[in-house]
Amino acid sequence: MTVVTVMPRQERDWTVDDLESLPDDGLQYELIDGILVVSPAPVPRHQRAVRAIFRLLDAGCPPDWEVFFAPLDYQPNRRTSVQPDVLVVARDEVGEKNLTQTLLLAVEVLSPSTRRKDLVLKHSVYADAGVASYWTVDPAEPSVTCWDLVDGRYVEVGRATGDESLTVDRPFPVTVEPTGRTGR
């Protein structure tokens, strides 16, 4: 099992500016409340799930929105920079480099080394940033859990495992089947 490393600083918190000086070494560098969190590169099972979710969302995405996949930094403030595995954002809010405007959807694909970060830390980061919907996909189970932001907190709107299908309305109508057969 791979371990996620947290790198605190003595003199000051990390900021998004500090990310520019980090090596391009295949690791994932994220900031959560000024603390640098380093995760290993994903494995093929994780990437297959990312690809399936990206294709599903991209196929049904309205023309004024856009679907992206990691690595792409979402920086809702100066002390936070995360890389959702898949995300949906309004096309007119996409800048040249990093995304800073509120996302319509963030999707995290769980792995043994990121499960706690995705289910606890990122769940909180996305809620605090006002991300309208948050999904977690577990390729090991396989399953998907979907939440929508209601009054500043995520409320579960659906969960499916195996061959079950789940249809959600946000960010746009889409049907997900965890074993991979998905559609609109």
**Has residue 147 been placed in a domain?**
yes
**Has residue 91 been placed in a domain?**
yes
Could you give the C-alpha distances from 34 to 17, 104, 119, in angstroms and in order? Answer: 11, 24, 19
Q: Which domain holds residue 67?
A: 42-176
With H, G, I as helix, E, B as strand and everything else as coil, classify residue 129. helix
**Has residue 86 been placed in a domain?**
yes
Tell me how many domains the chain contains.
1
> What pLDDT is stored for residue 184 in this prediction?
39
> How many other C-beta atoms lie within 10 A of the C-beta of residue 114?
23
Could you give the C-alpha distances from 96 to 52, 90, 108, 139, in angstroms and in order? Answer: 26, 14, 23, 32
**Has residue 32 been placed in a domain?**
no
pLDDT in tens, 103-151: 999 999 999 888 989 999 999 999 999 999 999 999 999 999 999 999 9
* Angle at alpha carbon of residue 147, lines to 14 and 28, rounded to 5°: 30
The reported pTM is 0.89
Domain of residue 152, CATH code: 3.90.1570.10
pLDDT in tens, 7-21: 555 567 899 999 988
